[in-house]
Structure 1
């Protein structure tokens, strides 16, 4: 505790690993991405906060922890995430738009598991001064396969449309979470099918 502050959680991002990240650990090199690609300004900003958080811990003993969430999904999701986009369109019977060939690979993590990881980082003293990958490497699918799975689970009449995408994209992103397992006792519990079913159920009720 420093000045009455028991813990500071810095929300970083898995984007700090750039376009290709297979079984990445917290000790692997981060990347700033190509200059001029708007997508990477987000990653650069998040990486800067990680450096600040860790150095405030070292210099001023501010009890900071950085969390790198990997592809969160679940009820109440907003924005342009693939799961959100696919479920909403599937429930409306609209085409699911997949960028390029859909071979991009992601490890998807249900929101309850992310919250568990954050709470563990708040509660465990050994978390201070560390960055943690929080995700579910067992729930891995390509974007195309994710779209097919959502159509199946939602019993939807939708079909998949592949659309060109020329902006920067992530081809592979799967975390190594051994550090979070060892220091936080973090274990993601919700498998992908169960998480998608819960999410579809929530959207079905709230889109009506």
Structure 2
């Protein structure tokens, strides 16, 4: 099978590429990535000699058509993903996440690809609530109630992808995963930011009261779920939540990382809450578990230890990221200092 992976140099996309190329070497992988701030060819280094890499924008119809030529499947990771960045400027999120998805869907329709995996997020649901307003993990039939431009852009992309299944019969499957963590994650996200700050004795910024909770899944469990879906041909038009039932608050995560890095609790630093901050993200993944017999295998306690060890051993990777002098990342790493 020839597979186009968009955003394949990013955190989750590169984990998918590394895994499928190591476990299923008969697949022919094409990676299309714009290499924005979070894209990194170093993430693909273990398998780079065996794949086709194309640097390009998913909003460019010609680049997309060329990259997709001869492909049997598309696994669409490419997206602007950081909530905080979307609060500052939503334009790139709308362009990449909605128009870029449209460009891919149109090319896939014209080229008659056999599978299209739309990789989405539980952010589209907003707070994890029942229709009656009771707090509980989100299910696939819950309405979209996005609380950030990022979440809204992904909800729009999901609706567009589903419409291509309903209208044109394009074999689309949509997945909505909870918060990922693991090796190679760009350090502006919560857990790698906390790890990096702890290792370098900077305060760990805790938004609001620190009680916002998320369901956390180790990235390899997410990848295993996607591969399971890709191997089944009778899931076209389906939507699957992916989660590990590992709900933790921000302050719990910060304390765990300080404990595992043997740093003092005095590095905890509360900062003003961000706008539209979802109180609880959690998904009910029973549909995926029952339909395809998938189960997460890595507990948070095990996964976070492995993740910390990886960052401690990959100081060169971290130094290369910091050497880019990205202003947003610098601000995020030093947020607690800026308000102290």
TM-score, normalised to structure 1's length?
Answer: 0.90
Q: Runs of at least 4 residues of structure 1 off by over 6 A?
A: none
Once residues 227 and 287 of structure 2 are traced to their aligned partners in structure 1, the CA distance between those partners, rounded to angstroms, is: 16
Matched residue SS, 2:282? strand
Asked if 1 retains the 8 angstrom alpha-carbon contact of 2:120 and 2:174, the reply is yes
Tell me the number of residue pairs that the alignment of Structure 1 and Structure 2 aligns: 201
Q: 1:91-144 CA deviation, whole Å, 9 max, x = no partner? A: 11221111111011111000001101111121112321111111111x111110
Alignment of 1:13-162 (within 5 A): 13-21=121-129, 22-33=136-147, 40-137=148-245, 139-157=246-264, 159-162=267-270
Matched residue SS, 2:205? strand
CA apart distance, 1:20: 3.9
Once residues 47 and 126 of structure 1 are traced to their aligned partners in structure 2, the CA distance between those partners, rounded to angstroms, is: 24
Once residues 6 and 29 of structure 1 are traced to their aligned partners in structure 2, the CA distance between those partners, rounded to angstroms, is: 28
Distance 1:152 1:19, change over 3 A: same
Partner of 1:198: 306
Once residues 225 and 202 of structure 2 are traced to their aligned partners in structure 1, the CA distance between those partners, rounded to angstroms, is: 35
Asked if 1 retains the 8 angstrom alpha-carbon contact of 2:194 and 2:257, the reply is yes
Asked if 1 retains the 8 angstrom alpha-carbon contact of 2:128 and 2:283, the reply is no
Higher relative contact order structure (alpha carbons within 8 Å, sequence separation ≥ 6)? 1
Partner of 2:278: 170
Asked if 2 retains the 8 angstrom alpha-carbon contact of 1:69 and 1:134, the reply is yes
Distance 1:32 1:162, change over 3 A: closer
Asked if 2 retains the 8 angstrom alpha-carbon contact of 1:106 and 1:173, the reply is yes
- Segment drifting more, 1-10 vs 84-93: 1-10
TM-score, normalised to structure 2's length?
Answer: 0.56
Asked if 2 retains the 8 angstrom alpha-carbon contact of 1:57 and 1:63, the reply is yes
Once residues 159 and 240 of structure 2 are traced to their aligned partners in structure 1, the CA distance between those partners, rounded to angstroms, is: 14
Any unmatched runs of 5+ in structure 2? 1-71, 73-108, 130-135, 317-340
CA apart distance, 1:178: 0.6
CA apart distance, 1:184: 2.3
CA apart distance, 1:4: 4.8
Please identify which structure carries the higher helix content.
2
Any unmatched runs of 5+ in structure 1? 34-39
Cα root mean square deviation, aligned:
1.8
